[in-house]
Amino acid sequence: MLKKIFAKMGVGAAKVDLTLKENTYKLGEHVEGKIKVQGGKIEQHINFINVELWLEVRGRNGQFHTHKVASIPIVSSFLIREGEEKEWGFKYDLPMDIPISASNCSYFFQTHLDIEGGADAKDRDDIRIKAPEALYQFVEALESLGFREKQHSGQFNGYKQEFEFFPTSQFQRRIRELEFEVAVEDKGLRILLELDLPSFGREREIKREISFSTEELSNNKKLQQSLHQIIEEMIDNPASYEHFQPSHYQRGEYKRGMSGLGGAMGGFAAGMIGGMLLGEVMDDMFEDVAFDDIQEDLEGADDLFDGDFFSGDDEW
């Protein structure tokens, strides 16, 4: 009798544990592991087991916001006897449109064992999600053209993840900053490239959507040549690239701060995490502050968005 009472409170009840083969993965990679349930001191009926992938983002005020990326059902309705052990395989393919792990952005799997008439058991496993090889190849070509990654590159503002570079050689006097968003696809990369050009004491922003196949990305010399030509064309004809509009803009789905590239990394949670983070900023400001100023303050929070993705000591 006492065993049943304690088990309802979680003492001596069944436990669950997810064991992954790795704790670091790249976007789109296959995750594998095993789920083990260990019976407690009494027989219990289990309603179900599922595994959820969660994104956790730290806001500028230190508050954490979470967003469920996926829920993976494992098994439903079974009996676990006293001291019995059961095991299931776990498989999941990571999405392509989630942000890479960063100082303010992390991931974990949470395994949920739903116990009938008792306290549920849970297990948390943190993972790190890195950039795919294709993105490293693109960045290597940029670096070969004299671009270097900025200290706070890779910031995730709740809507999108943007990478920032500055010129050090041939483009130093012609470009102030190069930024890009990227969509990782089976056949290569789609990239929204933005150049900030000096223009009579102010910056002139121009944007262009480009794409490279897996074959093009694997040839560093040709990739350099293509990138160089694209950048030169944008600099020489800035008026042709000043009025870029994302496809979802015309459908009325676009909001300030969202990704301008369909399927871009970080775009999956648009409106969810972004709205939460924006709310934090608004709580600290007067009601009559313009939305643009709020968004600028959010995106410029350097203490929040640390991270050097493709160089430095950290291997992303």
pLDDT at 274 (0 to 100): 55
What span, in angstroms and rounded, lies between the C-alpha atoms of 64 and 150?
Answer: 25
| Percent share of the chain, pLDDT over 90 | 57
Q: Which two tokens stand for residue 234?
A: 């944008």
Encode the chain (316 residues) as per-residue pLDDT tens digits.
445 544 454 445 899 999 999 999 999 999 999 999 999 988 999 999 999 999 998 777 788 889 999 999 999 999 999 999 999 999 999 998 899 998 778 999 999 999 998 889 999 999 999 999 999 999 999 999 999 999 878 878 777 888 999 999 999 999 999 999 999 888 999 999 999 999 877 779 999 999 999 999 999 999 999 999 999 999 999 999 987 766 544 444 445 555 557 677 776 654 455 555 555 544 443 333 333 443 444 444 333 333 455 654 444 4
Residue 101, judged by CB atoms within 10 A of its CB (0-12, 13-18, 19+), counts as buried
The 3-class secondary structure across 33-74, one letter per residue, is: EEEEEECCCCCEEEEEEEEEEEEEEECCCCCEEEEEEEEEEE
Sequence-distant (6+) residues with CB within 8 A of 229 are: none
CATH 2.60.40.640 domain residues, the chain: 2-130
**AA letter at 137:** Q
Please provide the size of the chain in residues.
316
Beta bridge partner(s), residue 155: 162
CATH number for domain 2-130, candidates 3.90.1070.10, 2.60.40.640, 3.90.25.10, 3.30.413.10: 2.60.40.640
pLDDT at 305 (0 to 100): 33
Phi, psi of 283 (to 5 degrees): -60, -30
What span, in angstroms and rounded, lies between the C-alpha atoms of 72 and 53?
Answer: 8
Residue 93, judged by CB atoms within 10 A of its CB (0-12, 13-18, 19+), counts as exposed
